[in-house]
Amino acid sequence: MLRNALRKDLLLNARHLWGILPWFLWVAYAMSEPDAARMTAVGAAFVGSLMATTIAAREDKLRTAATLASLPVSRRTLVEARYLVAFIAGAAAYVVVVAMAAALPWSVQRAAELVELKTVLLTLTLASAAIAVMMPLVIRFGMIGVVVFLGAFQLLGVAVMVAFEFFGMRSAVGVFSAVRRGIVALHRGLDQPVVILAALTAVALALWASCRLSVFLAERRDL
């Protein structure tokens, strides 16, 4: 039944998932930038996963949620399928970027580097974090939740820029720098078995908790 639910989401939302295509134009450009090349791959998987998490919001918008929920499939299975779709979308985006790295003549990123275990694991960790945070939010608050969440991040970014540019508050960008340093450190550490184990455990726990919460929210939701 999970397979049917997965197939349903992929067929119903194929067009929506193609919405990630413009992102690849930026990826194609960024392949020539030594600093950005690796992060484009991670970013593509991240964005692909985010696109897939918005399927539930899209069903609200199209008013198809009630029709689909009347199919003989449990809401738990529907939610689990959403998580799988998000991973498939993220993985597909990652594969495309690897292929671009191999095919684009101006790419400074070698495809072989992108399929290194530690890069793949970093991508998995970040995409999982995005899925784990966004999925319950989308199920509970729909498209408005997505817009508010992403909008709040945008506003935070603008506020930090203003604080830095106009008031010289270096500490404002400190959080972002710390996040960046943390990602870089995690990437470096992901060739050590202990870090790999810790990262995979954290990812599994976050996804398990997120999925439980999403199922709880979905099962109690009136359509």
Partner 1 sequence: MDPILELRGVTKHYPGFSLRDVSFSLPRGFVCGLIGPNGAGKTTIVKLVLGLVRPEAGELRVCGDDPVTAERAVKDRIGFVHEVPAYYDHLRVGTLASIVRPFYSRWDQPLFEALVREFEVPAGTRFGSLSRGTRTKAALALALAHHAELLVLDEPTAGLDPVFRRSLLERLAAYVGDGRCSVLFSTHVTGDLERMADYVTFVRDGRLVFSSTREELGDRWFVVRGDPRLLDDAVRRSLAGVEIGPHAFTGLTGDPAAIRRALAGHEAVIEAATLEDIMYYTGRPC
Binding of partner 1 at residue 209 (CB under 8 A)? no
Per-residue x/- marks for partner 1, 22-61, CB under 8 A? ----------------------------------------
Between 15 and 168, CB nearer to partner 1: 15
- Contact positions with partner 1 (CB under 8 A) in 59-88: 62-64, 66-67, 69-75
- Total residues binding partner 1 (CB under 8 A): 22
Smallest gap from Cβ 93 to partner 1, in A, equals 22
Which of these ranges, 11-19, 35-43, 111-119, 206-214, lies near partner 1 under the rule CB under 8 A?
11-19
How many Å is the maximal CA-CA distance in the chain?
A: 59
Amino acid symbol at 213: L
Closest CA to 1 of 77, 84, 115: 77
Angstrom distance (rounded) from CA 58 to CA 140: 13
**Toward partner 1, which CB reaches closer, 32 or 221?**
221
The nearer residue to partner 1, 11 or 25, going by C-beta atoms, is 11
Nearer to partner 1, 167 or 220 (CB): 220
Distance CA 13, CA 10 (A): 5
Choosing from 2, 8, 26, 195, the residue that interacts with partner 1 (CB under 8 A) is: 8
DSSP conformation class of 35: T
Among 12, 183, 196, 202, binds partner 1 (CB under 8 A): 12
Which of 4, 171, 177, 201 touches partner 1 (CB under 8 A)? 4
Give the pair of three-digit tokens for residue 148.
């508010």
Residue 170 or 212 with smaller CB distance to partner 1: 212
Given CA atoms 81, 92, 16, 134 in this order, what sign does their dihedral have? positive
CB 108 within 8 A of CB 33: yes
Contact residues for partner 1, defined by CB under 8 A? 1, 4, 7-8, 11-12, 15, 62-64, 66-67, 69-75, 220, 222-223
